[in-house]
Structure 1
Amino acid sequence: MSAETSRRNVRILTWISIATGVIGGLLVAFPTVLPFGGPWVQLALGIATLVLAFRARKIGIAEIEGFDGRLSLFAALLGFLIVFFAGQVAFGILVDVATP
Structure 2
Amino acid sequence: MSADSARRTVRILTWIGLATGVIGGLLVAFPKVLPVGGPWVQLTLGVATLVLAFRARKTGIAEVEGFDGRLSLFAALLGFLVVFFAGQVAFGILVAVANP
Q: Normalization by structure 2: what TM-score?
A: 0.99
- Give the unaligned 5+ runs of structure 1: none
Q: Give the aligned partner of residue 99 of structure 1.
A: 99
Q: Give the aligned partner of residue 19 of structure 1.
A: 19
Q: Deviations over 1:13-47 (max 9, x none)?
A: 00000000000000000000001000000000000
- Give the unaligned 5+ runs of structure 2: none
* SS at structure 2 position matched to 1:73: helix
* SS at structure 2 position matched to 1:12: helix
Q: Give the aligned partner of residue 50 of structure 1.
A: 50
Structure 2: how far apart are the matches of 1:41 and 1:26? Answer: 12
Q: Normalization by structure 1: what TM-score?
A: 0.99
Task: Could you list the structure 1 runs, at least 4 aligned residues long, displaced by more than 2 angstroms after superposition.
Answer: none
For the aligned residue pairs, the C-alpha RMSD in angstroms reads 0.4
Structure 2: how far apart are the matches of 1:18 and 1:65? Answer: 22
Q: Deviations over 1:45-76 (max 9, x none)?
A: 00000000000000000001110000000000
